[in-house]
């Protein structure tokens, strides 16, 4: 996934909406996360590794590398994402395709698997740009698919806290000549019983909140020949979008595996199924009244904070009833219906409620 030369034109062209790709009512945003990223050489403080992007100092302070002016996606791509996240025409679910994922989920690098404290060759840097991208993506409940880390992972991302943003799947390499592994020095926090030490809650080397659910770490012989190929954990990924249930199933298969054979097994940690709603995992502070819609199935709902006019999020709900969560007390506007048609209604002046309180608003089309 190092290039998208067969895809739509970049979002920095005069018509950035050409970056949208709708397939089977799943809306994809295709990102250029390498082309517009700032170069780190001369921008960040010097390292002791001999490379500006490799940090080996165990006393490294990640905040010193989050330098003003450093860009990841760039302003125009962020504006594109904001527009795409709010546009649910002909779409039931959303996903973003990027060249790599928004975290530094590799600690060991190269044939000798040497340890780095931080690696800037990932979308975990610059941290401010990473958080801006995740903020826009979660407002559309977008799942994230990337590659180019030589290591497959499932990560639930966080901005201000663990799990308050979306989920990502970094697909494996089909052939891996520069292996990487995710082997933190301390076990992950709050991992599920029986899960490996490398899973759970971490701060990556750049200080980003990540919850790791799976990683195809090399190290053990697979017994497959040629060993130089298969022992480096090559393979391919499959993502299944279940629009009826609004779930996303992530699969990661070894290169040699035939998924049509019931005796074949995926890499440990896969498959994993999440809900569409998990892609905005931020905890609710308040709620709005439950919206009950008649005369329309699966309408789009947009929440707008009247204090600043900002779109909190937009979602095509499943069914006809939804209780919107919000993240501060206040007054909100709701837009409900089918975008691009006359069947849209705007409800203003809606006061948020404490979690234990409930109220219903009926919307009829």
pLDDT value for 259:
86
Please check whether residue 197 is in contact with residue 188, taking contact to mean a CB–CB distance below 8 angstroms.
Answer: yes
Task: Give, for 14, the enclosing helix (H) or strand (E).
Answer: none
Using pLDDT thresholds of 50, 70 and 90, give the confidence band for residue 12: low
User: Which of 17-21, 52-56, 89-93, 325-329 has the least mean pLDDT?
Assistant: 17-21
pLDDT digits 0-9 by tens, 176-186: 999 999 999 99
Q: Which two tokens stand for residue 358?
A: 């409930």
- Parse the chain into domains and list their residue ranges: 16-280, 286-364
pLDDT category of residue 241 using cuts at 50, 70 and 90: very high
% of the chain with per-residue pLDDT over 90: 93
Q: What is the pLDDT of residues 294-311, one digit of tens each?
A: 999 999 999 999 999 999
d(CA 67, CA 47): 15
Q: Which residues of 310-341 are buried (b: 16+ CB within 10 A; e: fewer)?
A: ebbbbbbbbeeebbbbbbeebebbbbbbbbee
For residue 38, count CB atoms less than 10 angstroms from its CB and return exposed for 0-12, middle for 13-18, buried for 19 or more.
Answer: middle
pLDDT recorded at residue 11: 53
Six token digits for residue 4: 């998208």
Q: How confident is the prediction for the chain on average, in pLDDT?
A: 94
Interatomic CA distance for residues 131 and 128, integer angstroms: 5
Express each pLDDT in 337-357 by its tens digit.
999 999 999 999 999 999 999
CATH code of the region 16-280: 3.60.21
Per the CB < 8 A criterion, the answer to whether 56 and 116 are in contact is yes
* DSSP structural state of residue 239: E
pLDDT in tens, 14-43: 454 348 999 999 999 999 998 899 999 999
| Tens digit of each residue's pLDDT (9 = 90 or more) over 194-229 | 999 999 999 999 999 999 999 999 989 999 999 999
**Threshold 0.85, pTM exceeds:** yes
Rounded CA-CA distance 27/326 in Å is: 24
State the Cα–Cα distance between residues 88 and 98, nearest whole angstrom: 20
Residue 3 Cα distances to 118, 310, 357, angstroms: 24, 33, 50
Q: In what order do the strands lie in the sheet with 114-115?
A: 114-115, 108-109, 180-181
Residue 249 has pLDDT above 60, yes or no: yes
Q: Which residues contact 26 (CB under 8 A, 6 or more apart)?
A: 91, 92, 93, 94, 95, 241, 243
Tens-place pLDDT, residues 282-295: 999 999 999 999 99
**Class of the domain covering 286-364:** mainly beta
Give SS3 for 159: coil
Largest CA distance in the chain: 66
Q: What is the DSSP string of 17-28?
A: GGGEEEETTEEE
* CA–CA distance, 74 with 89 (Å, rounded to integer): 25
Instruction: Read off the tokens for 210.
Output: 């990540």
Residue 56's pLDDT band, with cuts at 50, 70 and 90, is very high
**CA 256 to chain centroid:** 28
pLDDT at 7: 43
Give the pLDDT band (50/70/90) at residue 2: very low
d(Cα 278, Cα 326) in Å, to the nearest integer? 15
Which whole number is the average pLDDT over 232-236?
97
Structure confidence at residue 48 (pLDDT): 93
Given pLDDT bands bounded at 50, 70 and 90, which one contains residue 1?
A: very low
Q: What pLDDT was estimated at residue 202? A: 98
Instruction: Determine the 3-state secondary structure of 132 from DSSP.
Output: helix
């Amino acid at each position: 996934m190092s290039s998208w030369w067969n895809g739509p034109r970049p979002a920095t062209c005069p018509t950035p909406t050409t970056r949208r790709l709708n397939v089977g009512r799943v809306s994809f945003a295709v990102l250029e996360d390498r082309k517009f990223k700032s170069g780190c050489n001369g921008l960040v403080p010097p390292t002791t590794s001999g490379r500006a992007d490799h940090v080996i100092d165990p006393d490294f302070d990640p905040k010193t590398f989050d330098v003003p002016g450093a860009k990841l996606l760039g302003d125009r791509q962020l504006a594109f994402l904001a527009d795409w996240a709010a546009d649910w025409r002909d779409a039931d679910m959303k996903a973003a395709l990027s060249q790599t994922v928004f975290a530094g989920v590799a600690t060991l690098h190269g044939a000798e698997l040497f340890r780095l404290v931080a690696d800037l060759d990932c979308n975990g840097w610059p941290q401010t740009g990473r958080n801006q991208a995740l903020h826009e993506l979660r407002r559309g409940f977008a799942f994230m698919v990337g590659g180019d880390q030589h290591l497959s992972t499932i990560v639930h991302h966080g901005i201000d806290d663990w799990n308050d943003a979306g989920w990502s799947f970094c697909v494996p390499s089909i052939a891996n000549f520069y292996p990487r592994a995710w082997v933190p020095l301390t076990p992950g926090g709050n991992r599920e019983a029986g899960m490996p030490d490398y899973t759970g809650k971490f701060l990556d080397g750049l200080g980003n909140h990540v919850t790791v659910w799976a990683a195809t770490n090399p190290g053990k012989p697979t017994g497959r020949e040629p060993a130089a190929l298969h022992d480096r954990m090559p393979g391919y990924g499959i993502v299944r979008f279940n629009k009826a249930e609004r779930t996303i199933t992530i699969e990661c298969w070894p290169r040699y595996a035939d998924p049509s054979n019931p005796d074949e097994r995926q890499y440990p940690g896969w498959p994993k199924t999440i809900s569409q709603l998990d892609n905005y995992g931020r905890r609710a502070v308040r709620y709005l009244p439950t919206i009950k819609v008649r005369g329309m199935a699966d309408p789009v709902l947009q929440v707008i904070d009247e204090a600043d006019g900002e779109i909190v999020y937009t979602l095509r709900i499943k069914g006809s009833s939804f209780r919107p969560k919000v993240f501060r007390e206040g007054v909100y506007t709701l837009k409900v219906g089918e975008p691009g048609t006359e069947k849209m209604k705007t409800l203003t002046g809606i006061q948020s409620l404490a979690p234990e309180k409930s109220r219903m608003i009926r919307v009829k089309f």
